[in-house]
Amino acid sequence: MDTNAPVPSSSLPPAPSAGGVPERLASPPVVSPASKSVTVAPVVPGFDPTLVRCAVETHVHELMWKDEDLLRRITALDEERKKARTQQRVRLMTDGYRVDEAITPKLHNLGRMLTRILRLGHPLDLFVRAGYEHQAFCLPSKKGNRLVMCLHSGLIASLSSQELLFVMGHEVGHALLTHGETLGIDFDNPYFSPLEVLRIRALERAQEISCDRIGLLACQDVRVASSALFKVNCGLTDRWLSFDETAYSRHFDELSSMAEFIDLADASETHPIMPLRVKALIAFAKSELYAKAFGKSGWTLASDEMELHVDNMLEVLTPDLSELETGKEKEAFNQFLIDGALLVIAADGVVDPQEVAWLKHLTNDEWSREELTADVSRPEYRQQLEQRLNACAEVLRFKLPELKRARLFRAMCEVAQSAGGILDAEGNVLEELQQKLGIRLEIARDAFQAAQEAQDESGDEVDSQSEPPASGDASTDPMAEIFSRANLSAAALPQVAATLRELRSRNLPFPEAVRALISWTITASRPKGVLTAAQGRKLAVSAIKVCRELQEDSGSGHKSKATPADKKIQEFGLVALFQKGETVTRGESNEPYVVVAVSPSKGRVFIAPADDVLTVEQVEPHELWKDPTEGAWPPELAD
């Protein structure tokens, strides 16, 4: 149940006030279809569902939302996923069956009953999808004026009508309490640290407790609610059960005695263990909060006392993270940066002047080459570095997102390359540092490539003086001017010069020749290609700047408030040269593809065959070829 998390329902208007409740909600108690002897009554007019929100949820939410950086990343992730998540669930519903009173009257009546009991301010559309899984979800409609619920048929087959009413109330609770903005964040997400994910999972577990309470308000029988949770958890049916919620709740007490064995894996669960949820439901059923939801004056447990019980239960199965939480990641980051660099320098036993210069630039401290040489030659010095690195890495692995740890690894790559290349011994140390930081291989490779490109850029200006860019006077030959400004490395110049000669031989109009040059640049900047990604970006930017200057000199310069193309390329790379809707070709094939979408931040282009636009795949820019005479080119390159 609830493995498909609801999307945020912030678009829903607030619950109606007591004076604004429609007459159709002011109804008498309803007889439950589960048992003729059990009646369920609507909550009091003006009932605010946020009142039953678990206190632990409120507390954890407030603590997390004080971290503005974490909130920004959660919000960005949710915005990125919201459209895809909604489309996916719409497909689930369109594949299923929309409940019709004439065909499935019992299910239809359950939906009406839930609406009346909880005094929902919006109509509820109920769908059923074929599936053995015990899954359900509820979310606002696109316009936010309806609630849409989907139940899997396996769930319906396993539960009684009143148990199903509990599940439906639980799922509606996610929508009413606007859950969803933190759901679906995995431990391998590079934008969040493991400790942040653990906190998010703790919030999610508290959210389940909150929604269980709304489910109990719907079915109004704690034994029914508990048996629904039990069946969903273990898959047993009434054939095998003589369920006792009190007996089942005692299972939690047995688990509590093993709290010392609880580790981070247990803390990573998104849902609390079922005996805990049943025990929390029993406490809620006895509480002042539950009684007041129905206008009753008798209860056996004050709300504060009930919340304390739930807090203690959740705390029992939470491992002690205090040592990690108190670790100072900024200090650990800086210490790892210096010690990691020293370990790289010590790898080959030789301290190069460039490595000393790198340390001076990093720390603004004076470093003596002679003293460093003496230090790195001592085994005990390296052992001290290893010990400090291990201590810092433990803090960083849990408290910093993987991408921030990758910045550290990139710095290690930069110091390894600063002396002109990476030896086997330095490569081994880099691999060791990657493992200490817990960085995946593909992310480590990206960091290494970024360090290599930065090294290329820093050396390009010097290298480019070793050979003229191409024949021709830059002051009169715009193509030569483009190459001159790009300051490419000597290694790339022969192939670049050959490309220039080939373009001149074709006697193309200048704008078309520049577009042909940039088309070549896109494919030439592939991994292990003639150009690095940084060089390809510089060449394209240089071409656009030269063209714009020529247009301005002739009085036909393109004026636009939009960001100039060269700025976009500098920020995002060559992916900025592609636009949605244009036709391109891929690799050596001449088959046309249509650009479906472009993701500048990820450096990816989404394409589909021209004759099958539904078959979409994502590729890198250098896999594509743009025809110089067609496509969407920046205005600076117009004829």
157-196 pLDDT, tens per residue?
A: 999 999 999 999 999 999 999 886 556 688 888 889 888 8
What pLDDT score was predicted for residue 476? 53
Strand-pairing partners, residue 599, are 604
Instruction: Name which residue leads in pLDDT, 207 or 547.
Output: 207
| E strand or H helix that includes residue 140 | strand 136-140
- Give the model's confidence band at 216: pLDDT under 50 very low, under 70 low, under 90 confident, else very high: very high
**What's the mean pLDDT in 1-19?**
38
Residues 6+ apart with CB under 8 A from 301: 283, 286, 287, 288, 309
Mean pLDDT of the chain: 79
Strand, helix or coil for residue 106:
helix
- Which string of b and e fits 284-323 if b means at least 16 CB within 10 Å? bbbbbbbbbbbeeeebebebeebbebbeebbebbebeeee
Mean pLDDT of 114-129: 93
Cβ pair 198, 144 in contact under 8 A: no
pLDDT at 491: 59
CA distance 511 to 579: 19
Q: Is the pLDDT of residue 265 over 50?
A: no
Whether residue 565 is predicted with pLDDT greater than 50 in this model: the reply is: yes
In the chain, % of residues over pLDDT 70: 77
Domain boundaries, the chain: 49-323, 328-462, 467-637
pLDDT-derived band at 581 (thresholds 50, 70, 90) equals: confident
Q: Decide which of 346 and 123 is more confident.
A: 123
For residue range 266-309, what is the model confidence (pLDDT) as tens digits?
A: 455 566 688 889 999 999 999 999 999 999 988 999 999 999 98
Residue 126 pLDDT exceeds 90: yes
Rounded Cα gap, residues 539 and 426, in angstroms: 32
Integer CA distances (angstroms), 430 to 336, 386, 417, in order: 13, 13, 11
Residue 78 to residue 448: CA distance in whole angstroms: 30
Q: Is 172 left (phi over 0), alpha (psi -120 to 50) or beta?
A: alpha
Highest mean pLDDT, choosing among 48-57, 83-92, 250-259, 350-359: 48-57
pLDDT tops 90 at residue 573: no
pLDDT for the residue numbered 594: 86
Q: What is the average pLDDT across 517-530?
A: 82
Nearest 5 degrees, angle CA 315-CA 57-CA 319?
A: 25
What confidence tier does 255 reach under pLDDT thresholds 50, 70, 90?
low
Dihedral of the alpha carbons of 269, 275, 280, 283, in degrees to the nearest 10: -170
Least confident of 70-74, 83-87, 291-295: 83-87
Per residue in 137-155, pLDDT (tens digit) is 888 877 778 898 999 999 9
- Can you give the pLDDT at residue 472? 42
| The pLDDT of residue 39 is above 90 | no
Position 466 pLDDT exceeds 60? no
- What integer is the mean pLDDT of 595-609? 83
Distance of CA 456 to the CA centre of its chain: 32
Whether the CB-CB separation of 385 and 377 falls below 8 Å is answered with no
pLDDT tens-digit series, residues 381-428: 889 999 999 999 989 998 899 988 998 898 888 888 776 667 778 888
Q: What is the pLDDT of residue 11?
A: 35
The pLDDT confidence band at residue 533, using thresholds 50, 70 and 90, is confident
pLDDT over 60 at 556, yes or no? no
Cβ atoms within 10 Å, residue 254: 9
Residue 455 has pLDDT above 50, yes or no: yes
For residues 236-243, average pLDDT:
74
Model confidence at 557, in pLDDT bands (50, 70, 90)? low
What is the pLDDT averaged over residues 537-550? 83
Q: What is the reported pLDDT for 34?
A: 42
Q: Per-residue pLDDT for 473 more than 50?
A: no
Residue 9: band (very low, low, confident or very high) from pLDDT cuts 50, 70, 90:
very low
Q: Strand ranges (DSSP E) for 455-612?
A: 583-586, 592-599, 604-609
User: Given this structure, which CATH class describes domain 328-462?
Assistant: mainly alpha
Residue 443's Cβ-side half-sphere holds a number of Cα atoms within 13 Å equal to 19
Mean pLDDT confidence for 431-457: 83
Radius of gyration of the chain (CA): 32
What is the distance, to the nearest Å, from the Cα of residue 198 to the centroid of all Cα atoms in its chain? 15
Number of neighbours of residue 618 by Cβ within 10 angstroms? 13
Neighbour tally for 76: CB within 10 Å: 11
Q: What is the DSSP letter of 7?
A: P
Check residue 51 and give its pLDDT: 92
CA distances from 570 to 227, 455, 483, 540, 567 (A): 60, 17, 17, 9, 5
